[in-house]
Structure 1
Amino acid sequence: MGWRDVTPSDAVEAGDWIESRLQSFGSGTAGSVVPTGFPAYARSESRAGLAAVLARHTSTPNRCWFCLWDGYGYLHGAPAVMYFWASDDPHPQPPPPPPLLRKSRVRLPNRDYLLFTGSAAEAEGWDDGPNLWWPDDRAWCAAAEIDLDYTLIGGSSELRDELVRAGARPIKVDDPL
């Protein structure tokens, strides 16, 4: 699975709830990465099996939203293109960006994201990301910040307890990253 296996979306309003629930980007707290307001939080060092656990804690496991950071270089191709043409020929036009790059973005402080939709199961096995993902009912939110090597999850106490049994550790939203 990966971002190529889920459906790109322009419904960026699906992520509008997140920004108001994030602590200051530079605060260095869990709440600067994963939205505040959930009853409980966990930190998982592994993504293996995470999707299956999260799917059990939502009423909408087949309708999830995935954000992929727009800054991954492989999304944009080569950083430069060189064109050669005869002086009397018209100047060549650069190729249009792939359709994916013309999509709207979820814009959060210091990060822009491409948005996709799919099932919770489709979050398993991405090389990079999803960087943020949540079910349509917003029962939880998982955040894998690009500069961290773990995933933070906000959700119910029951979700946190199951994640802890699976190897995650409980955290508080104000804990340092």
Structure 2
Amino acid sequence: MADWVLRALDAELGGHPPERGGALLGPPGRPLLTHFAPDPGARASACQWAPSPALGERVAALERGEGLELKGLVHSHPGALDQPSAQDARELAAGLAHNPHLGCYLGPVVSLAPAAAPGAHEVALPRGKLSLFAARRARGGGAEVRPEPLRAVPLLRDLERAAAALGGGRAEGFVTESGEG
């Protein structure tokens, strides 16, 4: 996960009342998250989140216009609840079923409690933590939801320093194809 995505997740979800969320996207066929699309129009309460139709339209536009691929949905949970609920697990399985081209469908959870000793599937955010979970196809049908190892790709701070040194504006991360097949 690109660190600019982590920063965006913290700004949009961390430190705010739950439940909030959005979509995670990245380059097609690659296990990399490079874009977060927030969903301010979601149906949400203090203990439930469901994406809006507008998010689906935004994701489709990003896939067409930016050449990105939907990787999953992220949302925040109250307090220290740092894993998918039973409803979340059902939604992850449905997301995997609706995206048969994906090997897994991601469903990270942002919780507001700080990470005391983060596991391999967690990363501390300035205002909470991100816990990464993925739905994968199970033998015999259905899906299994399990923690997914998370690695942050630390590029944004270096891009910001380079932009400042060169007298540039705001640094922005992006991923491009190398041209190699």
- Same structural fold, with TM-score higher than 0.5 when normalized by the shorter chain: no
Q: What TM-score results when the alignment is normalised by the length of structure 2?
A: 0.29
- The structure whose RCO (Cα within 8 Å, separation 6+) is larger is 1
Q: Compare CA radii of gyration and give the structure with the larger one.
A: 1
Q: What TM-score results when the alignment is normalised by the length of structure 1?
A: 0.29
